[in-house]
Structure 1
Amino acid sequence: MPPDTNSPRRPLLASNSLWRMRSYLRPHIGKLVFIWLVAILGIAASIAFPLVGKEVIDAEQTADLLPLGLLAVGVGVAEALMIFLRRWVQTKPVLGLETEIRDDLYEHLQRLPMAFHSDWQSGQLLSRATTDLSTIRRFLGFGMLFLVMNVIQLTTVTIVLLNMYWPLGLLVAASAVPIIWVSLRFEKKYIKISRQVQDEQGDLATLVEESAIGIRTIKAFGRRHHVYDSFDESARKVYATSIDKVGLSAKFFTFLEVIPNFTLALVLLLGALAVGTGGLTLGTLVAFTTLMLQLVWPIASLGYILAMAQESMTSADRVMEVMDTVPSIRDGSETIEDPRGHLRLEGVGFRFPGAERPVLHDVWLDVRPGETVAVVGATGSGKTTLTALVPRLVDVTSGRVTIDGHDVRDLKLSVLRDVVATAFEEPTLFSMSVRENLTLGHREATDEEVREALEVAQATFVYDLPWGLDTRIGEQGMSLSGGQRQRLALARAVLSKPKILVLDDTLSALDVETEALVEEALRHVLREATGIVVAHRASTVLLADKVALLRGGTITHVGTHQELLADVPEYRELLAQDADMSEEGALR
């Protein structure tokens, strides 16, 4: 898959995004003001030192040297102390700021609907939560502070130089004109190329993640070289763009090195002539030159700081792309007292954004408390979409879904997802212990409750793992078989003790013997819960009290397994390949 197939990117807004993050700065404003105050005092000390040196050199009486020398030592110690204090104080608020933004970004990602996560590459989101936030932190902790410090130092030193000897001071001030002009041109180009590099790095991260998750498939099909070639192409793309970025920076930084050094050479030449003619004292020239040297670092570092600022603003823009996304699924305000689990689909329809035809339309279904309905339909008929509407993984585009008379859109999401538990056909397990995976939806579950859920799902194999329930399973549960993952996902859903249990073809990866044991245990669980079961096998259908046939995006028939088997040819065709149908269907 090409690395840039589905990474939504909007026009550059970098000049605005970093400023919009100012709300994160407000809690730390006191410490930031203190840091800037300390920095200004440090600048004042650094400027005062050459002025004291001037008085030492031009002193006419030796008696003045001792107090001036002590003053110079005091100024030097004060400058060192200010630098230490600034660096010590700034660490905590800056790191805290990065942590706050990262927490908010992650929390916002959890609020965003499935449609958002389907459209975005995971690598793009990963790079925003890691690399981009680190870039912002570096600028806020270093670049922004030194940008302010350097502007103050440049302005103050230039004024001092003009007062000391205005012809040379004017020369120094004039040297800033070409620097400002080139800096403005550099900024525009650097914003564009920085964004390109960061987006390409996100695409590269996506390739790495997908290769790690799909390593079994890659090895099974012998596609190692093909995957490597795709990665290498993407990596070379990042390399080429990064080289262009470095080339642009190198030209700018070289220019910033040349101008101050050329100006310094002129200052030394003209200053020496002025001393020779008596227009300038030697102490003034030394102080002037020392102060002039203090401008070399602020000017030379200007390139690095501007580059850092552009990268930071680009990163802020990328982060704000996610933060600005408004969740389409809003939290409701209602709760359900003593839920019974009466589920109704009333004229439900669903259409994906931009799609011409709806996936579902005019779906009506009534599932009473304790009743189980099997949803049967051809591949692509919308079964999974229908089950996703119940816990509001997606929202209806017409009609409504109700639980005990409450529209699910009006319920608090926390309440809704306590009432509804879902086990998916493709189970997701996390890189944590078995116990943590199982109790994801019921953190207070006791060991006895965990065992009961595992017995229902026929997943007691976990007790034979090296550390039992405390055994860590690999990312995506890849250390387990497909059937084992499905059984753990089913146990997780059962453990939450929902009033409505949604099983999206959860038994598809089980062998016939295990499936029979799981189904027998599920019958006891489903007696106490309302059940929606997506089924492809007749044996799974027999778990249900009635069957809903989904065809053409709507439910065309509802009845018992025997009724649909006898009266609906489409239903018989769907189950015709199941060996259980002729035997079990006839018996029941």
Structure 2
Amino acid sequence: MGSKRMRKYYALYKKQFILGPACKLTEAILELLVPLVMARIVDVGIPNNDVPYILKMGALMVLLGAAGLGFAVVCQYCAAVAQQGVGTVLRRDLLHKIHTLSSADRAAFSNATLVTRITNDINQIQSGVAMLIRLVFRSPFLIAGSLVMAMALDLRMSVIFFTAGFIVSAIMYYVLSRSLPLYRKIQQKLDGLLRITGENLSGVRVIRAFVRSRHETERFADGNEKLTRVCMRVARLNAYLNPLTFAVINLGIAALLVFGGYKVEAGSLTQGEIIALTNYMTQILLSIIVFANVIVVFTKAGASVDRVKEVLDAEPTMHEGAQHTFDEAANAVEVRHVDFCFPDSEEKLLSDVDFTIRRGETVGIIGGTGAGKSVLVNLLLRLYDVTGGEIRIFGRDVRDCTFAALRSAVHIVSQGSKLFQGTVRENLLCGKSGISQEDLQKALRIAQCDFVDKLPEGLDAPVEEGGKNFSGGQRQRLCVARALVGDPEILIFDDSSSALDYATDAHMRAAVSKELQGKTVLYVAQRVSTVRAADKIILLDDGVVRGIGTHQTLYAENELYREICDSQLSESEAVS
């Protein structure tokens, strides 16, 4: 809870962190005075039948209670403001940090654990912040204050307080020392369960198609059982707390009444002082219980802080360049002897890939599954950094460019048709400004999104989560339209027509060719029909360039390309 990184978040709410505990301490002082007032009523007012005195002391008790309530409300308000504020800023920074991490950096964290950290872990930290303001100072102060007041009333009777306090503390230590380490295990088991849940939700069609529902149900049940076992161990340990501590409290009060009775008979204590001592005994032991619960919350919050810090402290391996302009006279893309392998892996996914794409060219990149096509696209967008060689976009090494400049110049339509909840307009704009209605209509026209005009709301038609209220082909065409918005210099279609029929695919490519003259277009595909009309085709196989040329040249001279064509096209189509 008190790490240096977290202190900067606490500092944003310094006033609440000072005012809240101060109000709570004031409330505790007022609470310590109440037993003394009660003692005066019992010792002075009742024996003397002094009604005005009893009413005056009663009014004082009401005043102390009302004042304590006022200070408690102020403290609660401060705790709520700081709790929600710290959580809000922390979530924002955590999400921003996740966005700054490269794909390779994010691979160190699963999606499930990132979701847990940004939700459950920050909730635990918020609970810790609230407890820090409300109770972390109040409970120790009440314990110490009650002991001092008890010693002031009768030093010998305070031995009962110390004995009961020691026994309760020993019980707390026994339970907490065994339960606290289990809270980290609970977080780990929860991560695993969320990962399984996410996989089941995202892959529900595959699960049903391969009749794996029973297997996945058993897998989830196993993860759930593991989480339940750890939670039950914690619950069983914590179940001892209340019965044992309240037993000690009651025994302590009984001891006070027994020994106090002898002292009252001897005249060394009054009945009112016995009542005050009983109240202080209850305050001490209940405060110990509350403080133990605070420790539990702090332990959970501490584990969550470590997990959140792990993400916030992750050093990006990819650093943004400073160049935000390009050389208009340079080639659109230059890939120079590029090698690539994932971190912690020696297997090269790309090896000595070398080619040049001139401005305004339409280029096809073709290859089978695992050829390295999508990896190459990710390198062009600098989602990963090359292991060897360099990639230049309009004369600039992509590592020297700002992310905004690079990704404004290069737009991609990826394999997955990802739409966000909102409207069609919001999905097309995707945060861009200065885009006119005509620009949006042009993008929709090129992408063959005529169905949007038929929607009652048009561009303001709602898009549900993941675009599930649109068909696969409609989602894919909307993603194409989104990539066209913003007038990019380079447009990449990464196998983005898999959900389209041949006619729609052909119409869309014809519209792109007609409307985007002068732009550089890359078609990454497994279909020969998608790339055959390109100015140049790059054949990839097992991460190596096996040939570069037009369709006719490669078909005549490259055996691998010819095999691909013959497997997809008739002889007349292949040679035409």
Q: Structure 2 length normalisation: TM-score?
A: 0.92
CA distance in 2, matches of 1:18, 1:537: 55
1:344 CA drift (Å): 1.1
* Equivalent of 2:199 in 193, 210, 233: 210
Question: Given the superposition, is the C-alpha separation of residues 474 and 185 from structure 1 closer, same or farther in structure 2, using an over 3 Å criterion?
Answer: same
Note the alpha carbon deviations across 1:91-144, whole angstroms, 9 max, x for none.
222211111111111111111222344454333222222222112212211355
* Equivalent of 2:89 in 93, 96, 100: 100
- Greater shift in the superposed pair: 114-123 or 275-284: 114-123
CA distance in 2, matches of 1:70, 1:483: 76
CA distance in 2, matches of 1:479, 1:583: 41
Match of 2:276, SS state, is: helix
1:309 CA drift (Å): 1.6
Query: Within the alignment, does 1:59 sit opposite 2:49 as a pair?
Result: no
Match of 2:453, SS state, is: helix
1:19 CA drift (Å): 6.4
The match for 2:530 is 540
Q: Is the Cα–Cα contact under 8 Å of residues 449 and 474 in structure 2 kept in the other structure?
A: yes
Note the alpha carbon deviations across 1:314-365, whole angstroms, 9 max, x for none.
2222222222222222222221157567221122111111222211122222
The match for 1:423 is 413
1:66 CA drift (Å): 5.6
Q: Is the Cα–Cα contact under 8 Å of residues 377 and 549 in structure 1 kept in the other structure?
A: yes
1:69 CA drift (Å): 4.2
Within a 5 Å distance, the mapping from 1:156-195 to structure 2 comes to 156-195=145-184
Question: Given the superposition, is the C-alpha separation of residues 185 and 322 from structure 1 closer, same or farther in structure 2, using an over 3 Å criterion?
Answer: farther
The match for 2:6 is 21
The match for 1:35 is 20
1:68 CA drift (Å): 3.9
* Equivalent of 1:570 in 536, 560, 569: 560
Question: Given the superposition, is the C-alpha separation of residues 349 and 526 from structure 1 closer, same or farther in structure 2, using an over 3 Å criterion?
Answer: farther
Q: Is the Cα–Cα contact under 8 Å of residues 271 and 280 in structure 1 kept in the other structure?
A: yes
- Greater shift in the superposed pair: 40-49 or 467-476: 467-476
Query: Within the alignment, does 1:377 sit opposite 2:377 as a pair?
Result: no
Structure 1 residues without counterparts, runs of 5 or longer = 1-15
The match for 1:403 is 393
- Greater shift in the superposed pair: 200-209 or 389-398: 200-209
RMSD: 2.4
Q: Is the Cα–Cα contact under 8 Å of residues 536 and 575 in structure 1 kept in the other structure?
A: no
Question: Given the superposition, is the C-alpha separation of residues 171 and 248 from structure 1 closer, same or farther in structure 2, using an over 3 Å criterion?
Answer: same
- Structure 1 counterpart of 2:149, which letter? V
The match for 1:88 is 77
Within a 5 Å distance, the mapping from 1:238-387 to structure 2 comes to 238-336=227-325, 342-387=332-377
CA distance in 2, matches of 1:318, 1:329: 22
Q: Is the Cα–Cα contact under 8 Å of residues 421 and 500 in structure 1 kept in the other structure?
A: yes
* Equivalent of 2:382 in 377, 392, 396: 392
CA distance in 1, matches of 2:22, 2:285: 23
Match of 2:156, SS state, is: helix
Q: Is the Cα–Cα contact under 8 Å of residues 420 and 499 in structure 1 kept in the other structure?
A: yes
- Structure 2 counterpart of 1:488, which letter? L
Question: Given the superposition, is the C-alpha separation of residues 169 and 543 from structure 1 closer, same or farther in structure 2, using an over 3 Å criterion?
Answer: farther
1:526 CA drift (Å): 4.7
Q: Is the Cα–Cα contact under 8 Å of residues 18 and 313 in structure 1 kept in the other structure?
A: no
The match for 1:152 is 141
Q: Is the Cα–Cα contact under 8 Å of residues 424 and 505 in structure 1 kept in the other structure?
A: yes
Aligned residues: 571
1:586 CA drift (Å): 2.9
CA distance in 1, matches of 2:526, 2:375: 16
The match for 1:468 is 458
- Structure 2 counterpart of 1:297, which letter? L
Question: Given the superposition, is the C-alpha separation of residues 214 and 477 from structure 1 closer, same or farther in structure 2, using an over 3 Å criterion?
Answer: farther
Note the alpha carbon deviations across 1:217-248, whole angstroms, 9 max, x for none.
33444444443333333223322222112112
Note the alpha carbon deviations across 1:420-450, whole angstroms, 9 max, x for none.
1111122222233222222216344322212
Match of 2:567, SS state, is: coil
Match of 1:175, SS state, is: helix
- Structure 2 counterpart of 1:514, which letter? T
Q: Structure 1 length normalisation: TM-score?
A: 0.91
CA distance in 2, matches of 1:21, 1:480: 44
CA distance in 1, matches of 2:431, 2:399: 21
- Sequence identity percentage: 30
1:585 CA drift (Å): 4.6
Match of 1:306, SS state, is: helix
1:185 CA drift (Å): 4.3
Q: Is the Cα–Cα contact under 8 Å of residues 366 and 527 in structure 2 kept in the other structure?
A: no
CA distance in 2, matches of 1:435, 1:408: 30
1:18 CA drift (Å): 5.8
1:87 CA drift (Å): 1.9
